[in-house]
Chain A
Amino acid sequence: MEQLLSPRVNSARLGNYVAQKQPVRIVGKISNFSQKGDTALMTACDGGEVKIMLNAGHNMVDTFVEVIGTPIDPSTVRYISCTNMGANMDLKLVNDVVELTFDPKFQGRLF
Protein backbone atom coordinates (compact mmCIF):
# COMPACT_ATOMS: atom_id res chain seq x y z
CA MET A 1 0.00 0.00 0.00
CA GLU A 2 2.95 2.32 0.65
CA GLN A 3 3.72 2.34 -3.06
CA LEU A 4 0.37 3.84 -3.76
CA LEU A 5 0.93 6.85 -1.53
CA SER A 6 2.21 10.04 -3.06
CA PRO A 7 2.63 12.77 -0.47
CA ARG A 8 2.56 16.36 -1.60
CA VAL A 9 5.83 18.17 -0.91
CA ASN A 10 7.71 21.29 -1.88
CA SER A 11 11.32 21.64 -2.97
CA ALA A 12 12.59 21.95 0.59
CA ARG A 13 10.99 18.69 1.68
CA LEU A 14 11.79 16.73 -1.43
CA GLY A 15 15.08 15.55 0.02
CA ASN A 16 13.26 13.59 2.72
CA TYR A 17 11.74 11.26 0.19
CA VAL A 18 14.74 10.34 -1.92
CA ALA A 19 15.68 7.31 0.12
CA GLN A 20 12.26 5.72 0.05
CA LYS A 21 11.91 6.09 -3.70
CA GLN A 22 8.26 6.81 -3.09
CA PRO A 23 6.45 8.99 -5.61
CA VAL A 24 5.77 12.53 -4.46
CA ARG A 25 3.62 15.37 -5.73
CA ILE A 26 4.99 18.85 -6.28
CA VAL A 27 3.05 21.86 -7.45
CA GLY A 28 4.95 24.55 -9.26
CA LYS A 29 5.50 26.71 -12.28
CA ILE A 30 7.36 25.35 -15.26
CA SER A 31 10.06 27.81 -16.21
CA ASN A 32 11.58 26.05 -19.18
CA PHE A 33 12.11 22.87 -21.13
CA SER A 34 15.50 21.66 -22.27
CA GLN A 35 16.40 21.74 -25.95
CA LYS A 36 15.83 18.05 -26.41
CA GLY A 37 12.66 18.15 -24.34
CA ASP A 38 13.92 15.50 -21.97
CA THR A 39 14.01 17.68 -18.86
CA ALA A 40 12.13 20.66 -17.54
CA LEU A 41 12.80 23.13 -14.80
CA MET A 42 10.12 23.91 -12.29
CA THR A 43 9.92 26.60 -9.65
CA ALA A 44 8.18 24.77 -6.86
CA CYS A 45 5.48 26.33 -4.68
CA ASP A 46 8.09 27.32 -2.09
CA GLY A 47 10.29 29.01 -4.68
CA GLY A 48 12.96 26.33 -4.92
CA GLU A 49 14.00 24.87 -8.23
CA VAL A 50 13.29 21.29 -9.15
CA LYS A 51 14.47 19.51 -12.26
CA ILE A 52 12.00 17.17 -13.85
CA MET A 53 13.27 14.30 -15.96
CA LEU A 54 10.67 13.70 -18.60
CA ASN A 55 9.78 10.83 -20.83
CA ALA A 56 8.44 10.96 -24.34
CA GLY A 57 4.79 10.61 -23.44
CA HIS A 58 4.53 13.44 -20.94
CA ASN A 59 1.58 15.79 -21.10
CA MET A 60 2.82 18.82 -19.19
CA VAL A 61 1.33 21.66 -21.17
CA ASP A 62 0.25 24.34 -18.73
CA THR A 63 2.43 26.82 -16.88
CA PHE A 64 1.27 25.62 -13.48
CA VAL A 65 1.31 21.91 -12.90
CA GLU A 66 1.38 19.29 -10.21
CA VAL A 67 3.99 16.73 -11.09
CA ILE A 68 3.86 13.24 -9.62
CA GLY A 69 7.34 11.81 -9.77
CA THR A 70 10.00 9.66 -8.14
CA PRO A 71 12.66 11.68 -6.32
CA ILE A 72 16.13 11.06 -7.73
CA ASP A 73 17.97 13.55 -5.57
CA PRO A 74 16.91 16.49 -3.40
CA SER A 75 16.25 18.64 -6.42
CA THR A 76 15.28 16.22 -9.17
CA VAL A 77 12.31 14.03 -9.81
CA ARG A 78 11.57 11.59 -12.57
CA TYR A 79 8.20 12.32 -14.11
CA ILE A 80 5.43 9.76 -13.69
CA SER A 81 2.40 11.88 -14.48
CA CYS A 82 1.08 15.37 -14.00
CA THR A 83 -2.03 17.48 -13.57
CA ASN A 84 -2.20 20.66 -15.62
CA MET A 85 -3.42 23.51 -13.50
CA GLY A 86 -3.76 26.41 -15.86
CA ALA A 87 -2.04 29.73 -16.24
CA ASN A 88 -2.78 31.32 -12.89
CA MET A 89 -2.09 30.01 -9.49
CA ASP A 90 -1.33 31.47 -6.09
CA LEU A 91 1.75 29.42 -5.30
CA LYS A 92 2.27 31.05 -1.96
CA LEU A 93 -1.17 29.93 -0.84
CA VAL A 94 -0.49 26.44 -2.14
CA ASN A 95 2.78 26.34 -0.24
CA ASP A 96 1.13 27.53 2.94
CA VAL A 97 -1.35 24.66 2.74
CA VAL A 98 1.38 22.15 1.92
CA GLU A 99 3.45 23.31 4.88
CA LEU A 100 0.40 23.06 7.13
CA THR A 101 -0.06 19.43 6.17
CA PHE A 102 3.34 18.75 7.70
CA ASP A 103 2.36 20.29 11.01
CA PRO A 104 2.70 17.71 13.80
CA LYS A 105 -0.97 18.22 14.64
CA PHE A 106 -1.90 16.66 11.33
CA GLN A 107 1.00 14.50 10.20
CA GLY A 108 0.19 10.87 10.84
CA ARG A 109 -3.47 11.57 11.54
CA LEU A 110 -4.66 13.21 8.39
CA PHE A 111 -1.68 12.92 6.09
Chain B
Amino acid sequence: MEDEIDFTTGDAGAFGTNPMQCSALRTNGFVVLKGPPSKIVEMSTSKTGKHGHAKVHLVGIDIFMVKKYEDICPSTHKMDAPNIKRIDYQTGEVCEDLKLPEGELGKDIEGKYDCSHKALQINGIMRHEQTVQVWINCRSK
Protein backbone atom coordinates (compact mmCIF):
# COMPACT_ATOMS: atom_id res chain seq x y z
CA MET B 1 0.00 0.00 0.00
CA GLU B 2 1.30 3.38 -0.88
CA ASP B 3 2.21 5.76 1.90
CA GLU B 4 -0.38 8.35 2.60
CA ILE B 5 0.84 11.79 1.93
CA ASP B 6 -1.03 14.03 4.19
CA PHE B 7 -0.45 17.59 3.22
CA THR B 8 -3.46 19.74 3.30
CA THR B 9 -3.30 23.39 3.91
CA GLY B 10 -5.22 26.48 2.98
CA ASP B 11 -4.79 30.20 2.76
CA ALA B 12 -4.10 32.28 5.81
CA GLY B 13 -7.74 33.14 6.49
CA ALA B 14 -8.86 35.30 9.36
CA PHE B 15 -7.65 34.28 12.75
CA GLY B 16 -9.39 35.67 15.81
CA THR B 17 -12.28 34.74 18.00
CA ASN B 18 -16.03 34.76 17.86
CA PRO B 19 -18.45 34.77 20.79
CA MET B 20 -20.31 31.56 21.64
CA GLN B 21 -22.99 30.88 24.19
CA CYS B 22 -21.30 28.92 26.93
CA SER B 23 -23.82 26.08 26.81
CA ALA B 24 -23.04 25.57 23.13
CA LEU B 25 -19.37 24.77 23.75
CA ARG B 26 -18.30 21.15 23.41
CA THR B 27 -15.63 18.96 24.92
CA ASN B 28 -12.66 18.74 22.54
CA GLY B 29 -13.64 22.15 21.19
CA PHE B 30 -11.60 25.31 21.81
CA VAL B 31 -12.27 28.29 24.00
CA VAL B 32 -10.39 31.25 25.41
CA LEU B 33 -10.08 30.79 29.15
CA LYS B 34 -8.21 33.64 30.81
CA GLY B 35 -5.88 34.48 27.96
CA PRO B 36 -4.55 31.74 25.72
CA PRO B 37 -6.80 29.46 23.69
CA SER B 38 -7.47 26.15 25.38
CA LYS B 39 -8.76 22.84 24.34
CA ILE B 40 -11.80 21.90 26.43
CA VAL B 41 -11.07 18.62 28.16
CA GLU B 42 -13.86 18.61 30.68
CA MET B 43 -17.24 20.25 30.69
CA SER B 44 -19.99 19.79 33.20
CA THR B 45 -22.97 21.71 34.43
CA SER B 46 -24.35 22.25 37.90
CA LYS B 47 -26.75 24.56 39.64
CA THR B 48 -27.01 26.12 43.06
CA GLY B 49 -30.17 24.81 44.62
CA LYS B 50 -32.87 22.89 42.79
CA HIS B 51 -34.28 26.04 41.24
CA GLY B 52 -31.01 27.67 40.29
CA HIS B 53 -29.84 28.37 36.77
CA ALA B 54 -27.29 26.17 35.06
CA LYS B 55 -23.64 27.01 35.42
CA VAL B 56 -21.00 25.57 33.17
CA HIS B 57 -17.78 24.30 34.62
CA LEU B 58 -14.99 24.24 32.06
CA VAL B 59 -11.55 22.72 32.26
CA GLY B 60 -9.29 23.57 29.39
CA ILE B 61 -5.68 22.90 28.59
CA ASP B 62 -3.83 25.84 27.14
CA ILE B 63 -2.45 24.54 23.90
CA PHE B 64 0.80 26.51 24.06
CA MET B 65 1.96 25.90 27.57
CA VAL B 66 0.03 22.71 28.31
CA LYS B 67 -1.25 24.42 31.41
CA LYS B 68 -4.64 23.75 32.91
CA TYR B 69 -7.27 26.47 33.21
CA GLU B 70 -10.63 26.25 34.88
CA ASP B 71 -13.62 28.50 34.75
CA ILE B 72 -17.16 28.45 35.95
CA CYS B 73 -19.81 30.72 34.48
CA PRO B 74 -23.54 30.96 33.85
CA SER B 75 -24.59 28.88 30.88
CA THR B 76 -26.02 31.94 29.13
CA HIS B 77 -22.63 33.64 29.28
CA LYS B 78 -20.93 34.43 25.99
CA MET B 79 -17.37 33.17 25.71
CA ASP B 80 -14.73 33.66 23.07
CA ALA B 81 -14.15 30.68 20.85
CA PRO B 82 -10.94 30.92 18.81
CA ASN B 83 -11.16 30.35 15.11
CA ILE B 84 -9.26 27.23 14.38
CA LYS B 85 -7.10 26.97 11.38
CA ARG B 86 -5.91 23.47 11.03
CA ILE B 87 -2.98 22.39 8.95
CA ASP B 88 -1.77 18.83 8.59
CA TYR B 89 1.94 18.35 8.00
CA GLN B 90 4.02 15.42 7.17
CA THR B 91 7.12 15.11 9.32
CA GLY B 92 10.12 16.21 7.39
CA GLU B 93 8.13 19.01 5.92
CA VAL B 94 7.75 20.83 9.18
CA CYS B 95 9.42 24.18 9.33
CA GLU B 96 12.30 24.24 11.77
CA ASP B 97 11.06 27.05 13.95
CA LEU B 98 7.81 25.29 14.75
CA LYS B 99 7.23 25.38 18.45
CA LEU B 100 6.76 22.05 20.11
CA PRO B 101 4.52 21.96 23.14
CA GLU B 102 6.03 21.55 26.56
CA GLY B 103 5.57 18.48 28.66
CA GLU B 104 4.94 14.90 27.68
CA LEU B 105 3.54 15.59 24.27
CA GLY B 106 6.49 17.68 23.21
CA LYS B 107 8.97 14.99 24.18
CA ASP B 108 6.82 12.47 22.45
CA ILE B 109 6.80 14.42 19.22
CA GLU B 110 10.56 14.85 19.35
CA GLY B 111 10.91 11.12 19.75
CA LYS B 112 8.60 10.33 16.89
CA TYR B 113 10.25 12.93 14.72
CA ASP B 114 13.60 11.22 15.10
CA CYS B 115 12.12 7.93 14.13
CA SER B 116 10.81 9.67 11.04
CA HIS B 117 7.20 8.91 11.62
CA LYS B 118 4.75 10.48 9.33
CA ALA B 119 1.98 13.02 9.50
CA LEU B 120 2.36 15.66 12.10
CA GLN B 121 -0.66 17.77 12.63
CA ILE B 122 -0.55 21.42 13.42
CA ASN B 123 -3.18 23.79 14.56
CA GLY B 124 -2.75 27.42 13.97
CA ILE B 125 -4.71 29.39 16.43
CA MET B 126 -4.98 33.10 16.95
CA ARG B 127 -1.90 33.77 14.85
CA HIS B 128 0.08 31.21 16.73
CA GLU B 129 0.98 27.83 15.56
CA GLN B 130 1.10 24.85 17.75
CA THR B 131 1.40 21.15 17.33
CA VAL B 132 -1.43 19.52 19.16
CA GLN B 133 -1.70 16.09 17.83
CA VAL B 134 0.48 13.45 16.28
CA TRP B 135 -0.71 10.71 14.07
CA ILE B 136 1.67 7.92 13.56
CA ASN B 137 1.33 5.77 10.57
CA CYS B 138 3.25 2.67 11.49
CA ARG B 139 2.82 1.07 8.12
CA SER B 140 4.97 3.69 6.49
CA LYS B 141 8.07 2.43 8.25
Are A and B genuine complex partners? Answer: no
